[in-house]
Amino acid sequence: MNSITTRVRSRPYRAACLLAVGLVLATTSTATATASEPAAAHDPAASRLQRDTDAIHDAGAIGVTVRYTAPGTVRTTRSGEAEAHTGRPVPRDGHYRIGSTTKTFVATVTLQLVAEGRLRLDEPIETWLPGVVRGNGNDGRRITLRHLLQHTSGIPGYTALPSAVPALYSARGYRENRFRHYRPQDLVAAALTLPGRFEPGTAWAYSNTNYLLVGMIIDRVTGRSWGEEVRDRILRPLGLHDTRVPGDDPYLPQPHAQGGHTFAGDSRPTDTTVLNHTVADAAGAMYGTPSDIDRFFAALLSGRLLGPGELAEMRRTEPIPDEPGRGYGLGLESTELGCGGEYWHHGGNDLGFSSENGVTADGRRAVLVVRNGVDENDEAGGARQDAATRALIDHALCAPDPSRR
């Protein structure tokens, strides 16, 4: 799901989107560094990674886990706590709610169906969902599958409506609705009570409703849920045993950090770790671990999940307004590196969790950042955490390649 501080936004730079690409870890050796281990003191790159990890914690995150991969190297750094005021460290490879990173999985399945000739990117969604998107300037006859995947549809986001998703808006709403089951068609219907934001294809605006509709299209075309397709087409073939589409199961497996979320107007955080994620559906329902998400993006960017044509379509980006140097493709983002070139990513935010990542264009190096603890009342603090996260990713991906020293 997108950041829930903006009712499910999506990226830690404006609140997050998650992407991490690394190498196939079975072929690499491992070097792990944490704040309490001596490895960082003898490795300048590991020391820099630890300092940058600490900077994110110092900016206000309760806990931070960072995973860095390069040829022959895997580093993990940690800072802060899994739960505030307990002293319990964040787990090295703990489960977390990946939020909008789910969109990259859903987009990958969609492009596989395109390759199989079962879907067409530039066909109106009315073809598969007749009459579903109508009203208030929203018209499925003018909106294509590409528009949905790239957030150029103009369809408003359902997460802008507190009445539709009360669990995302207050501690009381969370407590009263954390076990509630949501149907995507009901959330779409709620979104369509709002006016369309622009004519399809003429602008860009992030909307979680887009991916609910993509999930519904996958269901209609395959006769199976998007979650089943993700499981059978991606999770099982890649051996991602710690990544799930949880359905109505509201619990995270151990180990995991606590999702502490301070809602607007509150002075204390609420433990939001337990939540029925049908509230996010195909826009952000999944959970995983850093190592699993790393393997997924490694497979995706190396061409194991999509053919060259479909991967090229995924990487065709639209500029993100007011964010120079950033673009959004089909469930995948790009950002310019300070040292030149760009990296690919899709982060995700959730109640109490935030994640961001990046991979170099050649796929040789990747870095993934997971933060626990979100305070909606501290916009400046959130901006500092985002800036520190952005700096860590840039430093990690611009540093000399350890395999070429």
Q: What is the per-residue pLDDT across 48-67, written as a single tens digit (0 to 9) for each?
A: 999 999 999 999 999 999 99
- Catalytic residue annotation: 100
Q: How many Å apart are CA 372 and CA 244, to the nearest integer?
A: 19
pLDDT at 380 over 50: yes
**Domain ranges within the chain, ordered by starting residue:** 25-404
Q: pLDDT tens across 124-162, in order?
A: 999 999 999 999 999 999 999 999 999 999 999 999 999
pLDDT at site 45: 80
Please name the residues in contact with 361: beta carbons below 8 A apart, sequence gap of 6 or more: 341, 342, 343, 344
CB-CB contact of 162 with 147 (8 Å): no
Q: Tell me, what's the pLDDT at 23? A: 25
Contact 144, 125 (CB under 8 A): yes
Residue 138 phi/psi, 5° resolution? -100, 125
Which of the four pLDDT bands, split at 50, 70 and 90, describes residue 302?
confident
- Say yes or no to pLDDT of 20 above 80: no
pLDDT of residue 363: 75
Position with higher pLDDT, 294 vs 21: 294
Q: What angle, rounded to 10 degrees, do the helices at 208-222 and 184-191 form?
A: 140
Q: How far apart are CA 205 and CA 197, in angstroms?
A: 8
Cβ count within 10 A of residue 194:
18
| 25-404 classified as CATH 3.40.120.10 | no
Judge residue 263's burial from the number of C-beta atoms within 10 Å of its C-beta, 0-12 exposed, 13-18 middle, 19 or more buried: buried
Specify the pLDDT at position 8.
37
pTM of whole model > 0.85?
yes
Residue 405 is predicted with a pLDDT of: 54
